[in-house]
Structure 1
């Protein structure tokens, strides 16, 4: 995998039989499962362990634009880009691709919670800087 900016994370998935619905293509809910996995993997990749333990992320909103169906045995790449952090919210754009074809585009908003109180929690500036730096790409 090529180096990626810290605000970007991607991973590949092979479509399996459990991902397929009665219409013979990837079920809409599976796209959301992939988005959630990518956002959380991004968090685990960049945030320090003690910060991960102190915070949880919950989805607030997803807006999905389905472009093409995915099928059994397809290899898809899920790529999330953190667009901005605002208070306790994170705004991501996710692209789900099969090769050069875009299967779906997802805009989502997530809320950071304190893991003890379950109340919204802002991230410290030094943690935000890990996710939205101006510098070089990072490998995980």
Structure 2
């Protein structure tokens, strides 16, 4: 099983297109966030989700090529370094073999009751540090 990475595919819809007739930058950000949420939902469980929540503290996105209406897009994500209360996540957005965009997001783990940052408990650290087998 591959815990550290996750991929999903989508087709660009009319709602994704802006006045320049390509995918709007905000849509790319949504794809980045969706990748993280979908991946985490596969890795986590109700116990963890009842105690903790993730918030974004930084996004960095680079755009290389535009995506257009009806393009088939692959969004791939993997977890980078995790330290203290922060975890890096990387996302690549592609059309076939062409890299359209890449992103690095820094997430912060919060205690769900206090909404304050919390150092990673072992149950979460084990998830974040799992690699391809």
After TM superposition, is the score higher than 0.5? Answer: yes
Deviations 1:47-73 (A, max 9, x none): 121101221111111111101000111
Task: Name stretches of at least 5 consecutive residues in structure 2 with no aligned partner.
Answer: none
Q: CA deviation at 1:18?
A: 0.6
Task: Name stretches of at least 5 consecutive residues in structure 1 with no aligned partner.
Answer: none
Q: CA deviation at 1:130?
A: 2.3
Aligned to 1:115: 112
Q: CA deviation at 1:134?
A: 4.6
Q: Secondary structure at 2:130's aligned position in 1?
A: coil
Aligned to 1:66: 63
Aligned to 2:35: 38
2:121 is the counterpart of 1:124: yes
Distance (Å, rounded) in 2 between the aligned partners of 1:134 and 1:69 = 31
Aligned residue pairs total 133
Distance (Å, rounded) in 2 between the aligned partners of 1:52 and 1:77 = 27
Query: Scaled by the length of structure 2, what TM-score is found?
Result: 0.93
Query: Scaled by the length of structure 1, what TM-score is found?
Result: 0.89
Distance (Å, rounded) in 2 between the aligned partners of 1:122 and 1:8 = 22
Aligned to 1:92: 89
> Over aligned residue pairs, what C-alpha RMSD do you find?
1.3
Aligned to 1:18: 15
Q: Secondary structure at 1:68's aligned position in 2?
A: coil
